[in-house]
Structure 1
Amino acid sequence: MDGGTGLRLRHFVQIVDTHTAGEPTRIATGGLPPIPGDSMIDRRCWLETTGAPLRGFLLDEPRGHHDMFGAIITPPVHPESNFGVIFLDNNGTLAMCGHGTIGVVTALITLGQTEQDDLVLDTPAGLVHCRVNRTNGEVSSVTFQNVPAFCLHDLNWNGFSLHLSYGGNLFALVDAASIGLHADKDHLSELIDTGMAIRSWANEQTETYHPTTGERLTIDLVEFYEAGDPDRNVVVFGDRQVDRSPCGTGTCAKMAFLHATGKLALEKEYRYSSILGTEFIGKIVSETMVGTVPGIVPEITGSAYVTAIGSLVLTNNDPFPTGFSLERENR
């Protein structure tokens, strides 16, 4: 394989890089081998195990960096969907991603892979309904209606409350002020250390299953939130990875928590700010039941921007076919 370059290549992968509210998404649109699996969950599992080297190739150094995030476009499984998507962080995969969804839809429109302004993405978490918003013909933002979100039980960590809430991924929500921190850049190192400690401890303390699918849910992200105008968060996930955006699934999880505690009504706009001061706009479209658990149908609006269109290549003699991470190797 030479990809038309004259080079002897093992991989020639077409990509689009975007950022959504500052958070990157590297989107693989072509050139990868087919991702096997009869469902999007099966495909995600394959990428967690056999296909893990592909994640390293796409996201890790020398082609990426420690905080790179990714998405792989696949054919959909569900007949009512347009595209399949699997999301990648720096240490594995996620069932759903809000900033990634906004980036993927923006990229698909930019590349001309679809002319539809209403799309359905098939994700491991379920179907995500997306709407493109335009200004003067250009994509100005994307609104997506996520899978149902719901609030679960609390855990007591060293005398502090962790609120477990699901927004496509399972979060531990933490009031930053309650543990003497602020959701800002000045406390970033402490937030990362504390977030990793909380996630490890919480997953040892609880065994949680999705109320309708029965799928085992692990706490994949820790969301430190802070009250303000608007509220702000810092989300820690992956291997000490920090979300630059307000986190779409985290915003959904937070809205489910606020609604369950009587602090956010239906159809009321909820603005959520990131560590950079960028915002997503959330709204609860309706209430629903997720099995026997009360939940909400959340909607998120945000904007993504294309930063690069190109290809990643792997030559036959490259000593780093699956990438590397100095951060992980030095711990």
Structure 2
Amino acid sequence: MNTTHTIQLMDTHAGGDVSRIVTGGIDLLPGATVREQMEYLRDDADGLRQLLLTEPYGIPEMSVDLLVPATHPEAVAGYIIMEVMGYPIYSGSNTLCTATAVLEHGIVAKQEGVQHFKLEAPAGLVNIEATVKNGVVDAVTCEGLPSYIDTYRATINVPDIGEVTYSIAYSGGFYALVEADALGFKLVREEERALAGCAHKIVEAIKAERGFSHYTLGDVGPLPFLHFMGPEERIADGYVRSRSTTYVHPGVICRSTTGTGTSARLALMNYEGRLQLGDKLETVSLRETGFIGTFTGTHTEGAYQVVENNITGRSYVLSKSDIVINCEDPLVYCGNLHHILSDRHAHALVIGA
């Protein structure tokens, strides 16, 4: 049996969050939809996620996006999102990075100016608008998932912290939203470790007290995320800026403000009656990077007013590389991985392969 395999990667980042785009070296996965392929990867081949997010190949702060052939006729490609906490059905920063990789890899030919195409996430179709300047992807706007407020200004007593007021939004995952200044934070980089520790305590306390259910998806697992909200600064009519940061896993604070975190903020602002059609929220991270969320409309789902929104940002290509997977390496575990590693140079998605 061949114990050495090669995987093709394009490393990118959006707002500082690194997304490793897997462009080749993985066999086609079973499943009639990208969602079903994600579920197969999660249940039967989780070794890929573990391999690329841990030593010696990666770190938990990264994300991985596996490009797969689209199953929907309107989409140019599908992608499966892998993070340290599991398999989100959607992510704004990962979508920005994947859209850039699709253009840089030639799956969609780059054209100067604005171009439109659709990707297929596990959550479904995603509309993409990309702007190319001088042959480089200069900006990407993607649809945020329909977002809503599940819980507004509840309180909980958190060990070592005291009483905390929080709201819960769904924007691709459930988010606890808390005011940073109420917890003594200014949202600067020097606070990163303290922010992670504080968020972990709050999330664990909420998880111990209650769970959350999506109006159509049902149980999507325990609360994973917490978003610290800084004070809002009105830059112009219909344009607000706020420092923000997102906790995703014990010890892990996102480098970016996250697209889904920005969508969650828009849902909260709408719930409080503070948004007009076309209004924008710019979230600014600990590393001074930002995403812009745009409020594009609402609709009603049962008891919830659901916010439609777009997220705009930029993704940068860091590297294009082949990594060698040697299953005889004692630091590399291939037991839940070897059956999807391809002996070919690339899987069928890659144009011209």
Pairing partner for 1:45 from 39, 47, 54: 39
The code of the aligned residue for 2:196 comes to I
CA distance in 1, matches of 2:26, 2:275: 43
Q: Secondary structure at the match of 2:145?
A: coil
Which residue of 2 is the match for residue 223 of structure 1?
A: 227
TM-score when normalising by structure 2? 0.84
Matched-pair contact (CA < 8 Å) for 1:143–1:301? yes
Matched, 1:289 2:337: no
CA distance in 1, matches of 2:35, 2:302: 19
Q: What count of residue pairs does the alignment treat as equivalent?
A: 317
After superposition, the Cα gap between the structure-2 partners of 1:87 and 1:145, relative to the gap in structure 1 and judged at 3 Å, is same
CA RMSD, 1 decimal: 2.0
Q: Give % identity.
A: 27
Displacement of 1:77 in angstroms is 3.0
The code of the aligned residue for 2:16 comes to G
Which residue of 1 is the match for residue 347 of structure 2?
A: none
Which residue of 2 is the match for residue 178 of structure 1?
A: 182
Matched, 1:126 2:124: yes
Matched-pair contact (CA < 8 Å) for 1:91–1:239? no
| 1:1-331 equivalent positions in 2, closer than 5 A | 9-115=3-109, 117-154=115-152, 155-158=154-157, 159-229=163-233, 230-322=241-333
Question: Which whole-Å deviations, capped at 9, do the CAs of 1:172-231 have from their partners, x for residues lacking one?
Answer: 111111122232222212211121222222223223222133353532211111114420
Unaligned ranges ≥5, structure 1: 2-7, 324-331
Q: Secondary structure at the match of 1:250?
A: helix
Matched-pair contact (CA < 8 Å) for 2:79–2:120? yes
Which residue of 1 is the match for residue 348 of structure 2?
A: none
CA distance in 1, matches of 2:302, 2:4: 46
The code of the aligned residue for 1:244 comes to R
Displacement of 1:9 in angstroms is 4.4
Q: Secondary structure at the match of 1:45?
A: helix
CA distance in 2, matches of 1:231, 1:58: 33
Matched-pair contact (CA < 8 Å) for 1:60–1:90? no
Q: Secondary structure at the match of 1:92?
A: coil
CA distance in 2, matches of 1:192, 1:119: 36
After superposition, the Cα gap between the structure-2 partners of 1:131 and 1:91, relative to the gap in structure 1 and judged at 3 Å, is same
After superposition, the Cα gap between the structure-2 partners of 1:294 and 1:157, relative to the gap in structure 1 and judged at 3 Å, is same
After superposition, the Cα gap between the structure-2 partners of 1:213 and 1:197, relative to the gap in structure 1 and judged at 3 Å, is same
Question: Which whole-Å deviations, capped at 9, do the CAs of 1:276-306 have from their partners, x for residues lacking one?
Answer: 1111111111111234310111111100110
The code of the aligned residue for 1:304 comes to S
Q: Secondary structure at the match of 1:282?
A: strand
The code of the aligned residue for 1:275 comes to L
CA distance in 2, matches of 1:33, 1:239: 32
Q: Secondary structure at the match of 1:148?
A: strand
Structure 1 ranges of 4+ moved more than 4 A: none
Matched-pair contact (CA < 8 Å) for 1:148–1:290? no
Unaligned ranges ≥5, structure 2: 158-162, 234-240, 335-353
